[in-house]
Structure 1
Amino acid sequence: MTAPQNPPYGTPDTPLLAVRGEAELEADPDLARIGITVTARGKDRRTTLDDLTRRNTTAVELIKSYGDAVEDLSTGAMSLTPELEPHGRSERVRAYHGRVHLTAELTDFTALGELTTRLADLDLTRVDGPSWTLRPESPVYRRARRQAVRDAVQRAKEYAEALGTTVGALIELADTGTGSALGRPRSDFGRRTRRMSAAAQEIEPTPEPLDLEPQRMRVRAEVSAQFTMVPPTL
């Protein structure tokens, strides 16, 4: 059996050089995600369900009134739960609790604070968020990976130069991690002009909107690389 030309552990004739490449970039988020929980409570099951349906419809119509500013709207879990009397052995229902969870993703952050405030102003409605994110296909990830590879090559060349030799061939390149995290707030958000669709203006007078500061995203990429070197003279 023929031995591999370049064993993974290297040889005196073909020294192995292993390095890591890193990159970290900052970028504005692409999406803001908010969670909306609509609730209803009553002693009668049908009345509770009707109230929940009405409040859910009001929230959905309000979100949809912002048009293209909302990229996605989805309904999550829905529940209608009976609450039994705390005392007694009978299965007597004390009240009914209804809940519907919605998730909205916005691309227009000028409408975000206004929509969030108006949703929070609805009866028995809870708003969570926003959470900021980049699209999975964001070019920022690609730029970070390319920069990490260039960093690995540059490191390999510097180590080889320190030994008075040069890099030979690439043996292996592995992606050891690419991800994003929140960074610092974007400083120009507060100066942007609020915009509102015509349909949204026709509903009710808008409460004072929250000033929500988008967080810049930090995108980090790491690679590990192995190169051969021209044998140095030590």
Structure 2
Amino acid sequence: MPPSPPPPFGTPEMPRVAVRGEARLEVDPEIARIGVVVSARGTDRRSALEDLTRRNSAVLELIKSYGESVEKLETGAFSISPELTRHGRGERVRAYHGSVHLTAELSDFTALGELTTRLADLELTRVNGPWWALRPDSPAHGEARRQAVREAVQRAREYAGALGAQLAALVELADLGAEGAIPYGAPQAPAGMMRTAYAGTASEMAPALDLEPQRQVVHAQVNARFTMTPPEL
């Protein structure tokens, strides 16, 4: 016959102690994301679309030229819409505006500063970011969880020791699911924004932007319950 489980709230012979363990680490980011918006404007839909296609291809080619420094490159929203103006009693199309939104993820922060500057130097191209982050499988998350567990055990020992008792067994260890301070890919406060600029020749290329990576906070919490020996009251 299997042994009956211990009572949920403990007994005088087997008291329980419940604690929470927490850990908070500050670590360097592992990746950075930038948003790129490529724009075009034309007097007719075809010219606006052709101009947008040309500029989008130039931006993609530039980003891909950084090779393994770019871990991910994705195209998001695309739009082309007319700009209307009133003419007499009616409306007419004055121009067409097009845009493509791109997202790039880099792990080489030196390349990030250079790429960001070169993108901002392109015609009708806007750069947003960077947004710093950790990878979902970053070792920092596991280290924070281990520290939270060790802190819970230490705290429980101190409570038991204050009563002249010792920990006997672990009853429950519950993850609160708060190990990550910043979800992967979620934006933080941008380090800056570079707006539309006109491209120059290679000899006039703007110097690489000096970026300081933003430290990431990793937070872990656990609830732990232990049984302990009878206290000396």
- Short-chain TM bin: 0.7 to 0.9
2:90 and 2:170 map into 1 onto residues whose CA distance is 75
Q: CA deviation at 1:180?
A: 2.9
CA distance in 2, matches of 1:87, 1:233: 93
The whole-number CA distance in structure 1 between the counterparts of 2:216 and 2:40 is 37
Aligned-residue offset at 1:85: 2.1
Q: What residue in structure 1 maps to residue 27 of structure 2?
A: 27
For residues 119 and 136 of structure 1, what CA distance do their matches in structure 2 show? 28
Q: Gaps spanning 5+ residues in structure 1: where?
A: 182-202
TM-score, reference length from structure 1: 0.85
Deviations 1:37-58 (A, max 9, x none): 0011122000000111011011
Give the number of equivalent residue pairs: 212
For residues 137 and 219 of structure 1, the distance between their equivalents in structure 2, rounded to whole angstroms, comes to: 12
Tell me the secondary structure at the aligned position of residue 155 of structure 2: helix
The gaps in structure 2 that reach 5 residues or longer are 183-200
Q: Which residue of 1 aligns with 2:46?
A: 46
Quickly say closer, same or farther: Cα 1:171–1:45, change in 2 above 3 A: same
Task: Tell me how large the CA RMSD over aligned residues is.
Answer: 1.9
CA drift at 1:68: 1.3
Q: Could you report, residue by residue, the CA deviation over 1:65-121 in whole angstroms, capped at 9, with x for unpaired residues?
A: 111111111101101112222566645222211010000011111111111011001
- The residue identity in structure 1 corresponding to 2:220 is A
1:130-169 pair list within 5 angstroms: 130-169=130-169
1:23-102 counterparts in 2 under 5 A?
23-86=23-86, 90=90, 92-102=92-102
Post-superposition Cα deviations, 1:7-48, rounded to whole Å, max 9, x if no partner, equal: 322222321211011112222211010000001112200000
Residue matched to 1:109 = 109
Task: Look up the SS of the partner of 2:96 in the other structure.
Answer: strand
